Amino acid sequence: PSYKKEVPLYFRGYRILQAVMHHLLLSKGLAAATEVMFGGHSAGAMAVLIHIDQLRQALPPHTRAVGLVDAGLFIDYREGSVHGLSHCRSLQRGYSFWNATGLHPDCVSGEAEPWRCIFPGYLTKYIQTPVFAIQDKYDNWAVKNVLGLPWTSYDHRISRKSLHTIQTYGNETEKQ
């Protein structure tokens, strides 16, 4: 467990995922499926990326599997933003606090810092299962939470400096 003020906290997401897959395979006919799509949005999309190869391995060899990732391509972006650095540090601390298990094993062994395997920019080169991704170049959540800018709509007036920061982030998103 992790501890918060001496109170044990248990995070069992990966065990739950394994149990659900086991149940679907044995009780709901997933073992007979010929095609399966694992999909998620935002943090759920990150989970698809992190676990897609392990989920594929749980399926029978005859089953074709693909992933659909919608708005889950969060990038390791620390440039010019206290918020971006804070976001990355939060995920780094979360990796330890959550006692993260079940991350892509090739990524964990291939990256110098395993917590980076939460970020698609590091993770995707290890994924073997086909994945289709949908991602806004200028993600509203990222603009607010990673860049720390008060951008809530496309007609909101922002400074040239803020616009440049958003454009730089969008370009980095495209690269990753």
> What is the model's pLDDT at position 160?
84
Q: Is the dihedral of CA 154, 159, 165, 168 positive or negative?
A: positive
pLDDT of residue 25: 97
> Which of the residues in the chain have pLDDT under 70?
80-84, 151-156
Helical ranges in 28-81 per DSSP H: 43-58
φ, ψ at 152 (rounded to 5°): -115, -15
Q: Which two tokens stand for residue 80?
A: 């010019």
Instruction: Quote the crossing angle between the two packed helices 13-27 and 43-58, to the nearest 10°.
Output: 50
CB atoms within 10 A of CB 53: 19
Read off the tokens for 138. Answer: 């200028």
Report d(CA 68, CA 145) in Å as an integer.
24
- Report the half-sphere exposure of 36 (CA within 13 A, side-chain side): 23
Report CA 102 to chain centroid distance, whole Å.
13
At 7 the three-state DSSP class reads strand
How far is residue 143's CA from residue 83's CA, in Å, rounded to a whole number?
10
Residue 11 buriedness (CB in 10 A; 0-12 / 13-18 / 19+):
middle
Backbone torsion region of residue 86, taken as left when φ is above 0, otherwise alpha when ψ lies between -120 and 50, otherwise beta = alpha
pLDDT 10s digits, 19-40: 999 999 999 999 999 999 999 9
Read off the pTM. 0.84
Measuring CA to CA, which residue among 109, 136, 40, 122 is closest to residue 75?
A: 122
